[in-house]
Each structure stands twice: as structure tokens, then as C-alpha cells.
């Protein structure tokens, strides 16, 4: 597959139309020529820090590039005009390699990657924001390859461009990881992101910097990962100033049950992607041989496996109708709830603990993936037990992408207040 091909075997110039059929919440379109950086902005070798962490400079984005992301690239990505705070400083982008483990595989050691974006500023103590990315097929449509990740570009421009240290883990199986993708595998997501905060802080120290307050944010799958990460950090006693999400499926069992048994007219045709990625990921990481074959109809199994593995497939052949993809038995609510797949989904919730950190869950009223009820679920649950730490915030009649792009400036205003900015 050439460098101009997507992981689905589609030329990058065709990604916009492919996105319509695959419809990934965070599917990465081709980067514009303006995203390219001169070779002088890149470091030829990785710089070791400590504890097996290394980092290397991959790009420098100046304020002109950052403001073009805010004013042109992001509106083109979401189809929604949004006003952002202009970037004040250039940003240096580092790809970081760091050690972690896979909890579901007996804590087997792995090497993962992520992005650290450092603002060029006179400040040496910076607010630190950990951003968790949304669903993608392509291994490089992730933070440490920011030119292939429009959502990461927006976060760099809006936060690192205004003095935040922005970090983003690629997750297990993504970026330069050699593992299979661990999509919605809660423990692995928690481990990869928590370990990356430690690794990123080592990179900050290597650059003569430190962080003052830690913030978390994420969109779509990344909203789920953000809540799961918050749970882990509260468990280990790592202080978090605040956490924010957009379109977060905090209970994947609720999300998939709705798609199967209570479909909405606005449901995205690409929700089949969620079943493809999760079925193979759960089979791999939870040691459930044959799980994907039990979920996916035989005529689509091989195609779906190739898509999960990142091999070239024709996007037009990926089913967009759940009834044509998923085995009939799973449309029986009782069967789904009692199945191995359903039980794993139910166990992977990321909201049913007593949350101590201020949280804002943004949701869209026309989101084709996350229902209003799911968007408000964490708040309603916490309030049912008397806890007011979680607030659900409507972004109005926004789509999945629109919810994210409209939420970002709200996150910025809120975080600035809490960071003393």
C-alpha cells in the first residue's frame, strides 16, 4: 500500500467520499499541503529521557498554520462554523515512545507511542491537557501522526497554541504499536493513557518544563477513554483539575443495545464499524476465541477481519446496515444481554463510581451516534446518588463532529478559568 493510500485501500483524494460510507467518528481525511513541515523541523534520532521513554521532534507548527486549522481546516472537517481563540504561539510536536503493559494479557510489556505538543513560550510551568482521540481504522490516524488526525490538529491549535502542554496517547495497537487494536478494551485504554501521562511528564522535564494542573478531554471513543482514565487516576490518587468530553459513549452496552434494538432514523450508517472493531478487539484481548465469528455474518467475516487488521479493503464493501452484518440472534435483547459480547460490553462502563473530579459531558441533540440519553447518562446516574460533580452540556442540534468542534472552545474557557489562565 503506497503512502497515498488509506488503510482501506482508497487513495487519499477519495477519503472524503469514503468517509461518507465508512463514517468513522474521527476518520482522518488527507492533510492539506499546508500541514507539511520542512525537514529542518524534524530530529533524526530519538532522545532518551528516563524509564525507557524516548522522544523526537517531528514538526513545528507556526501560528499561521495553527490559525489556518482553526479558521479553515476545522470548519471543513465538521461543516460547522465555530469561533476559536487564535493561537498565540508556535508549537513543537514530539512523537514519544514509552513502556506500558496489557492488563488483559497478564500485564505483558509493550512499547506504545503518543504525542507531546509543547508551546514555544517563556513560561516553564504549564497546564497539562491529556486528549484522548476518537475512533479510527488507520494505525497512523492518531495523535503522534498529527497531520493525519484533524481532531488532534484542532486540539493542538486551540490549546497548545495558547500555552497548554497537550499530550495524546495513540492507544494499544495504534501509532507505532505492533499489537492488534484494543478498541474499547477498558483496562488497556486506562493503562496506556495513565502510563503516557507519566511518560509525557518525563518529556516535559527533559525540555526544562513542568506542569501545574492536569486536565482530561476526549471525543467519541476518546470521551469514553477519558472517563475510564479519570476512574483510574482517581483510584491511584493522581489529581485531576477537571475532565471534559464530547459525544462520549460512557456505557458501550447502552450504545450498542440502542443500535440493535431501538434504532433511530438519524443513526449513522457507519455504526457497523463499532461492531467490527469491538468484536475482534474483545476476542483478542479478553481471550474469547470465535467471538467475532459469532457476531458477524459469515459472508462478511473475512472483509471485516482485514479491515480490523488495517489491510486494504474497499470501503464500499463494508456493510452499513446492521441487519446485514450482525447475526440475527443479537437483535434479541435477552440474547445480547446474556451473550459473552454483551456481558463484556456491560462490564466496560465508565461512569458508575463516585466521581470526585468536576466533569462536563457535552452532547449533541442531533448526534447520529450518541443519543441524548446516553450523552446525559453519567450526570443522571451521579445525581441519582446525590453527587453534583458531573454536568451534561448540550451543544444544540449538532452532529457527531459538530458536537466535538463546538465543545472544544467551551472546554478551553472552562479549563482556562480553572488553570488561572
Q: Do 198 and 280 fall into the same domain?
A: no
Angle between helices 272-285 and 340-347 (to 10 degrees): 90
Q: Are 419 and 127 in contact (CB under 8 A)?
A: yes
Q: Are 195 and 98 in contact (CB under 8 A)?
A: yes
Beta strand pairing call for 390-394 and 47-48: unpaired
Q: Do 261 and 239 fall into the same domain?
A: no
Q: Do 242 and 260 fall into the same domain?
A: no
Instruction: Return the pLDDT at 315.
Output: 86
Whether 234 is covered by a domain: the verdict is yes
**Which strands make up the sheet holding 210-219, listed edge to edge?**
47-48, 54-61, 91-102, 108-119, 165-169, 125-132, 210-219, 242-246, 359-363, 390-394
Q: Which residues are CB-contacts of 268 (< 8 A; sequence separation ≥ 6)?
A: 23, 368, 369, 400
Q: Do 235 and 208 fall into the same domain?
A: yes
Q: Mean pLDDT, the chain, as a whole number?
A: 90
Q: Using the 3D structure, point to which of 347, 378, 397 is the last residue of a domain.
A: 347
pTM of the model: 0.91
Backbone angles phi, psi at 243, to 5 degrees: -135, 145
Ramachandran class of 316: left when φ > 0, alpha when ψ lies in -120 to 50, beta otherwise: alpha
Distance CA 402, CA 413 (A): 18
Q: What is the pLDDT along the chain (421 residues), one digit of tens a residue?
A: 333 333 222 233 333 333 433 334 433 333 333 333 443 445 547 888 878 999 999 999 999 999 999 999 999 999 999 999 999 999 999 999 999 999 999 999 999 999 999 999 999 999 999 999 999 988 999 999 999 999 999 999 999 999 999 999 999 999 999 999 999 999 999 999 999 999 999 999 999 999 999 999 999 999 999 999 999 999 999 999 999 999 999 999 999 999 999 999 999 999 999 999 999 999 999 999 999 999 999 999 999 999 999 888 888 899 999 999 999 999 999 999 999 999 999 999 999 999 999 999 999 999 999 999 999 999 999 999 999 999 999 999 999 999 999 999 999 999 999 987 5
Q: Are 170 and 86 in contact (CB under 8 A)?
A: no
Q: Do 149 and 173 fall into the same domain?
A: yes
Q: Do 43 and 190 fall into the same domain?
A: yes
Whether 15 is covered by a domain: the verdict is no
Distance CA 135, CA 280 (A): 15
What is the CATH classification number for the domain harbouring 79? 3.40.50.1820
Whether 377 is covered by a domain: the verdict is yes
Whether 3 is covered by a domain: the verdict is no
Q: What angle do CA 334, 338, 339 make, to 5 degrees?
A: 115
Q: Do 234 and 105 fall into the same domain?
A: yes
Which range marks the domain in which residue 182 is found? 31-251+349-419
Q: Do 329 and 356 fall into the same domain?
A: no
Q: Do 202 and 127 fall into the same domain?
A: yes
Instruction: Return the pLDDT at 421.
Output: 52
Whether 406 is covered by a domain: the verdict is yes
Q: Which residues are CB-contacts of 211 (< 8 A; sequence separation ≥ 6)?
A: 125, 126, 127, 128, 165, 201, 204
Q: Do 340 and 378 fall into the same domain?
A: no
The alpha-helical segments, DSSP class H, found in 161-261 are 186-206, 221-236, 252-261
Q: Do 391 and 377 fall into the same domain?
A: yes
Distance CA 30, CA 153 (A): 12
Q: Do 123 and 219 fall into the same domain?
A: yes
Whether 78 is covered by a domain: the verdict is yes
Three-state helix/strand/coil letters over 28-39 = CCCCCHHHCCCH
Q: Are 120 and 57 in contact (CB under 8 A)?
A: no
In eight-state DSSP terms, residue 69 is I
Whether 18 is covered by a domain: the verdict is no
Q: Using the 3D structure, point to which of 316, 332, 347 is the last residue of a domain.
A: 347
Query: The cell 497512523 sits on which residue?
Result: 140
Q: Using the 3D structure, point to which of 328, 347, 366 is the last residue of a domain.
A: 347
Whether 394 is covered by a domain: the verdict is yes
Distance CA 29, CA 16 (A): 6
In 3D space, the residue among 302, 325, 298, 296 whose CA is nearest the CA of residue 314 turns out to be: 302
Q: What is the tally of structural domains in the chain?
A: 2
Amino acid at each position: 500500500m503506497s503512502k497515498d493510500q488509506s488503510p482501506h485501500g482508497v487513495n487519499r483524494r477519495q477519503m472524503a467520499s469514503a468517509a461518507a460510507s465508512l463514517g468513522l467518528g474521527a476518520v482522518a481525511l488527507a492533510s492539506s499541503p499546508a500541514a507539511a513541515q520542512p525537514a529542518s523541523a524534524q530530529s533524526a534520532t530519538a532522545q532518551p529521557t528516563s524509564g525507557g521513554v524516548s522522544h523526537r521532534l517531528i514538526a513545528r507548527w507556526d501560528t499561521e498554520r495553527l490559525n489556518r486549522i482553526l479558521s479553515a481546516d476545522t470548519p471543513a472537517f465538521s461543516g460547522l462554523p465555530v469561533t476559536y481563540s487564535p493561537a498565540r504561539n508556535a508549537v513543537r510536536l514530539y512523537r514519544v515512545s514509552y513502556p506500558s503493559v496489557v492488563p488483559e494479557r497478564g500485564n505483558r510489556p509493550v512499547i506504545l507511542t503518543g504525542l507531546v505538543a509543547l508551546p514555544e513560550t517563556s513560561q516553564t510551568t504549564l497546564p497539562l491537557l491529556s486528549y484522548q482521540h476518537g475512533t479510527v481504522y488507520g494505525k497512523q490516524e492518531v495523535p503522534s501522526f498529527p497531520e493525519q488526525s484533524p481532531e488532534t490538529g484542532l486540539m493542538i491549535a486551540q490549546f497548545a497554541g495558547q500555552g497548554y502542554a497537550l499530550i495524546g496517547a495513540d492507544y494499544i495497537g495504534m501509532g507505532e504499536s505492533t499489537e492488534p487494536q484494543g478498541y474499547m478494551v477498558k483496562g488497556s485504554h486506562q493503562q496506556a493513557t495513565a502510563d503516557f501521562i507519566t511518560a509525557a511528564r518525563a518529556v516535559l522535564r527533559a525540555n526544562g518544563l513542568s506542569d501545574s494542573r492536569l486536565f482530561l478531554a476526549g471525543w467519541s471513543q476518546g470521551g469514553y477513554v477519558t472517563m475510564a482514565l479519570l476512574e483510574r487516576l482517581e483510584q491511584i490518587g493522581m489529581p485531576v483539575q477537571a475532565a471534559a468530553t464530547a459525544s462520549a459513549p460512557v456505557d458501550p452496552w447502552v450504545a450498542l443495545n440502542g443500535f440493535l434494538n431501538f434504532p433511530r432514523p438519524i443513526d449513522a450508517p457507519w455504526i457497523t464499524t463499532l461492531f467490527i472493531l469491538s468484536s475482534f478487539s474483545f476476542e483478542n484481548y479478553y481471550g474469547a476465541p470465535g467471538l467475532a465469528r459469532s457476531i458477524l455474518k459469515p459472508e462478511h467475516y473475512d472483509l471485516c477481519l482485514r479491515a480490523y487488521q488495517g489491510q486494504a479493503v474497499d470501503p464500499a464493501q463494508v456493510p452499513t446496515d446492521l441487519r446485514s452484518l450482525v447475526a440475527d440472534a443479537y437483535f434479541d435483547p435477552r440474547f445480547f444481554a446474556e451473550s459473552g459480547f454483551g456481558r463484556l460490553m456491560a462490564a466496560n462502563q465508565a461512569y458508575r463510581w463516585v466521581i470526585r473530579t468536576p466533569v462536563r459531558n457535552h452532547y449533541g441533540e442531533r448526534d447520529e451516534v450518541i443519543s441524548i440519553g446516553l450523552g446525559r447518562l453519567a450526570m443522571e446516574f451521579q445525581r441519582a446518588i446525590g453527587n453534583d460533580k458531573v454536568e451534561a452540556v448540550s451543544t444544540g442540534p449538532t452532529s457527531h463532529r459538530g458536537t466535538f468542534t463546538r465543545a472544544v472552545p467551551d472546554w478551553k474557557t472552562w479549563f482556562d478559568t480553572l488553570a488561572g489562565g
